[in-house]
Chain A
Amino acid sequence: MNDFRWGLTALVIAGALPLIVASYQFLMIGWHFRRLHYSRCAPIFPRTAILIPAWNEAAVIASSVDRLMRLSYPPDRLRVFVIDDASTDETPQVAQAKAAEYPGRVFHLRREVGGQGKAHTLNHGLAEVLSDNWMQAVLIMDSDVIYEPPSLRRMTRHLADPGVGAVTAYIKEGSRPGNYLTRFIGYEYITAQAAARRSQNVLGAVACLAGGAQLHSRANIEALGGRIDTSSLAEDTITTFRTQLRGARVIFEPHAVVWAEEPGTINGLWKQRLRWGRGNLQVTRRFARVWFRMDKGHRLGSTRFGLFWFTLLLQPVFLICASASLVTLYYIDAPLAWDAFHALWIVNVLTYVFITLFALLIDPETGRRVWREAILFPGLVSLLIMLTVIIPGPLRYLTDHGLSLIGASGVRHYGAEFELFIYAWLAGSMLVAYLAKVAENHLPHRAGAILSGALVYIAGYGSLLCAVSLAAYVKQLRHAETTWDKTEKSGKMAVSV
């Protein structure tokens, strides 16, 4: 019985593992300045082919091409290829007009049979740019992303090192005016891009080249067979892994900034993240022989990279195990359950303070816009639990007196139910976050938007992401059909570059 108790306690404490690993990842950023790649960089401007896969992108493609023409890069060393994936809107006409406006610099490629996904579209473009010797580097981007003028040249400078196969940039959320969800994503991208990618630079193993900003040397693309993998939903990650497995480096350049429009509705976000989540599960299985096996040629098999990958991938499992163990412990040893809960949430408080504070300081410009969402990232209920754990005395006093004042002191008698509620909250918050999606789907437009937003603030954006991960597990276990759901873009970005 004792072993069982301690086993449950260990499972509770393990619930903090994703946050502890994330904090370690953030700590590594402090070492980034010692691992910068600039000593091997040079101001080089390889002849670069920019591939823009486009399916019904008439709303955004013209302005994207115009912006690319204004990049701070020698014009004679830049060609833009709009790969029209059998669009049924005005995309072909717009692309042809741009090709006529910038002769010899913009090209329109057309696939007559489309709808197979981004990777197939990119392969059409890759075959074209590899067919002659002009291209020395290829930049793969999305049709709606906005490159700040110096971004491309800040990426190409790393290709002066022949050991580098690919370079990625810092993707920032750019919807303006945006809404609460895009601000949450804005904060998430500080943690997932600006922070996590820096620590991956330190480690020497990068998890993913951003789909909207991946620069490859010609040698790398040729070594990968001149094609992007078409069998998974995470072709970007597969390309990233294959690049590193062949011994080439992948670099994250944090000072090359690219703005992207992200979903403004929970449904849009759910669709996008479900694709990413399922893709990551496919990658995990595809590279099963890579994890936790050191290899001289690459660092993907290092223990630290494995921990980063799996604690994030399995975060919902950790949370459910922690909650279930707490509830079980409550019935067999309530004082031990309380101690385990306290230890878990103290760790949560410390990691939350560290990560939130540091993330806002890593990108203060974005931080000024999203600081409220950064604070509310774990959700209102979790914030209250954290406050209760860290300053129980004053809160208990306030609660007692507050309840007496409103004549509801009897509520205190529900202490046991309250205790069980906070034990179950780590897992329960995912259910509440899922209800936000249900509300958006089933209630009238305005009411649905208000209620779903309120539920996200209550449950936390992090819980929403965990709920999507759970849905991805289920889809993969049921071998659901692998389809490419395109994220809807409106072109509503008001980022001045």
Chain B
Amino acid sequence: MHRLLTEQQQLRYEEFNNFVASNVEPDAETWERDQEIPDAVISLMAKSGYLGASLPREFGGQGWDIVTFGLLNEAFGRSSSSLTSVLTVQAMVSMALLKWGTAAQKAVWLARLASGETVASFALTEPDAGSALQSLTTAFTRRTGSDFLVLNGSKRWITCAQRAGLFLVFGKLEQQSVACLVPRETPGLEIEPIRELMGFRAAGLAQLTFTNAEVPVANVVGKPGFALSHIAPVGLHFGRISTACSALGLLRGCCEVSSAYATERKIADRAVGEIGMIRSLIARMGTDFKAASFLCYDACQSEDDRAPEAFENALTAKYFTSRAAVNAASDAVQIRGASGCHASSPTSRYYRSAKITEIIEGTTQIHEDLLGKIFVGRARAPAGRSAPGAGV
């Protein structure tokens, strides 16, 4: 995939990898153990412009193309899926707001998001509504004669919620779906950290409980009735791009660590890499990495092209790469044996984190349902009339 990148994209990718090697890799395991990422690391990312990577310059962002955003996520995903999740949710909220926010909302929030002064969180999942988005029960109600909505309900498994200063909350208003910006300091919002996850341990997940929380009507993003059809899909789209590229970085880590081990580790004076069965495992993960690289690039580039098929391409990239990452992480542990199960090896972290990428921003099964429908539908199409994305 490297040959498809522009010189500028390659230079930025080198910068991202240098940042990660200096500031992420040395402490990534400690953060997982402590279930927390130090504020100083987030500040350093913000200072480097990474939290506003894909926002336009007019809002204080870097204005980088989405391929570069993908490279950023890949570089961070190589060492810490948890830290990459900050980039994920920041982009999900930022890009949904950029597309559907009012001028006033953009003026207030986008510069803060771009600079990293505010970290955002995408509050969609509920205790009883994970993938079934139509089943949301979080309720916004109008208060007669007031410019405020009253919010009641709860959200669960919300990434980065322990740290976020702004939530994009999805719910129902008079039986219509609605998305609304809710600042952290809103009275009636309680944030309860969720700990002891198997992976993604430093991603700051929390449960949000809203009890008669009042939010201005002016904080509604888009219009009621369009939150699930137009606002959420934009956020989830960038979430899938980010997660696919993060999983790609993890997959690269598995390849690099396994290949290095296969070269260095000797059994009876014979390098592990000379054993055919080990080579088979490395060949599979290396080939998956190449294939996933092209899918991720395609997803990012089609978004840069503003192509309608970008949404499908992001689904495909996330679906393939997260599954490949799970397989590669399992094989990377297997290659190292007992030492691969220990915290001193990144493979144990890869193994725990990889599975999470198959669940966030839509499970593998949700992706299969959507992609299956698309591919079956394509077979139904009249000859010569291929669907968006076909042959891309």
To the question of whether A and B form a pair in one complex, the answer is no
Q: Which residues of B contact A (CB under 8 A)?
A: none
